[in-house]
């Protein structure tokens, strides 16, 4: 049983046991040596707006952030949003206050997001804007990912079905300052972002090359909400997704026949362990959130490990080098298959 012993003088205005979890108290103790807090250098950008008109705007929601970057930017007409959103700009640091253990943290650096007036994000993001530039945003971005900060945020979330930490609590966290290591971290983060941008360009080149080979335009395969077809084409299924107008198999290049994928490779579905099978350490479990379309995200977050006996039973679902992992389930059909990653460079510890 996990328990904490705290003196009455340390009890704050909260009485939930999670807030006094040993991991949070220990992390808080480690950071207490720093005299500066985040609000000394960064401010909350709270501006809310309800976009209107038909101008295309950039929208980033929680689902669009993966592997500490913006994986997708939605370009949609402003009036279609219909609810209040927050403005954000390049050099801002965004962190989701909802379920912080998912580590949806991003440093905004994109040529597509230069116009702040057209950039909107979910209100679940805390938008941190650099006030003094004496601590670079790149350092805050890394600092928020640290084990100590993550432990503090995780165990300070207010208990509910949708746990969140408060904006003010985040601003009051201690932060290091005045060390030359800060500039070194800034340089490393910038280097990583440059390489990530280059990698995205190569992915897009590969995708375009494939489309040219197949002779297709991606918009041809857009998910259509309404369409019609003759009754004679209806088979023993009545779900509309099955009858989307254009199929890959309708392309001219397949007119001479096809080879079933099952003849070329083995296919199996993943398996989610029972809730009681999860543990702090053990067998590494890959979840849907670990697929990014840009390589497996091996970041460890909630439910990242299961008990060793899970490995013994999961002979068909063990991940190996050169496997392809495909998102096969989603709340909406158009997202199925959207995330696909090849497995390579599995970390040695896994």
Q: What is the pLDDT of residues 104-149, one digit of tens each?
A: 899 998 877 877 788 999 989 999 999 878 899 999 999 999 988 8
How far apart, in Å, are the Cα atoms of 120 and each of 68, 115, 140, 219, 328?
18, 11, 21, 24, 29
- 305-306 and 278-279 beta bridge pairing: antiparallel
Closest by CA position to 303, among listed 275, 323, 328 = 275
Q: What is the CA radius of gyration of the chain?
A: 23
Q: What value does the mean pLDDT take over residues 155-179?
A: 81
Whether pTM exceeds 0.75: no
| CA pair distance 97, 165, nearest whole angstrom | 5
From the number of C-beta atoms within 10 Å of its C-beta (0-12, 13-18, 19+), residue 314 rates as: middle
Q: What is residue 300's predicted lDDT score, i.e. its pLDDT? A: 76
- 119-121 and 56-60 beta bridge pairing: parallel
Asked whether residue 219 carries a pLDDT value surpassing 60, the answer given is: yes
Write out the DSSP string of 136-158: -HHHHHHHTTSHHHHHHHHHHSB
Q: What is residue 127's predicted lDDT score, i.e. its pLDDT? A: 94
Q: What is residue 72's predicted lDDT score, i.e. its pLDDT? A: 80
Q: What is residue 166's predicted lDDT score, i.e. its pLDDT? A: 84
pLDDT in tens, 12-61: 666 666 666 777 777 778 888 888 999 999 999 888 888 888 888 899 99
Long-range contacts of 312-317 (CB under 8 A, 24+ apart): 314/271, 316/268, 317/268, 317/269, 317/270, 317/271
Structure token digits, residue 120:
């909107």
Q: What value does the mean pLDDT take over residues 66-79?
A: 84
């Amino acid at each position: 049983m996990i328990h904490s012993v705290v003196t009455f003088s340390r009890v704050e205005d909260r009485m939930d046991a999670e807030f006094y979890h040993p991991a949070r108290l220990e992390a808080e103790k480690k950071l207490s040596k720093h005299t500066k807090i985040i609000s000394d250098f960064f401010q909350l950008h709270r501006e809310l707006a309800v976009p209107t008109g038909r101008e295309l705007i950039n929208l980033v929601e929680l689902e669009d952030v993966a592997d500490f970057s913006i994986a997708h930017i939605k370009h949609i007409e402003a009036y279609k949003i219909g609810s209040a959103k927050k403005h954000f700009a390049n050099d801002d640091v965004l962190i989701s206050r909802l379920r912080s253990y998912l580590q949806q943290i991003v440093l905004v650096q994109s040529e597509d997001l230069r116009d702040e007036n057209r950039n909107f994000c979910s209100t679940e993001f805390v938008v941190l804007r650099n006030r003094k530039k004496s601590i670079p945003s790149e350092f805050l971005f890394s600092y928020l990912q640290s084990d100590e900060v993550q432990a503090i945020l995780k165990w300070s979330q207010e208990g509910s079905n949708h746990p969140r930490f408060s904006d003010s609590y985040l601003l009051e966290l201690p932060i290091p300052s005045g060390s030359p290591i800060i500039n070194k971290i800034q340089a490393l983060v910038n280097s990583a972002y440059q390489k990530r941008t280059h990698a995205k360009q190569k992915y897009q080149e590969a995708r375009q090359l494939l489309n040219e080979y197949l002779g297709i335009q991606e918009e041809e395969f857009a998910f259509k909400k309404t369409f019609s077809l003759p009754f004679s084409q209806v088979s023993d299924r009545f779900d509309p997704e099955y009858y989307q107008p254009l199929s890959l198999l309708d392309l001219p290049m397949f007119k001479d026949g096809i080879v079933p994928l099952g003849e070329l490779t083995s296919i199996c579905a993943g398996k989610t362990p029972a809730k009681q099978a999860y543990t702090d350490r053990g067998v590494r479990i890959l979840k849907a959130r670990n697929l990014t379309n840009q390589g497996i995200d091996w970041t460890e977050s909630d439910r990242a490990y299961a008990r060793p006996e899970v490995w013994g039973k999961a002979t068909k679902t063990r991940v190996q080098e050169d496997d392809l992992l495909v998102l096969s389930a989603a709340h909406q059909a158009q997202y199925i298959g959207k995330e696909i990653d090849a497995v390579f460079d599995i970390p040695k510890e896994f």
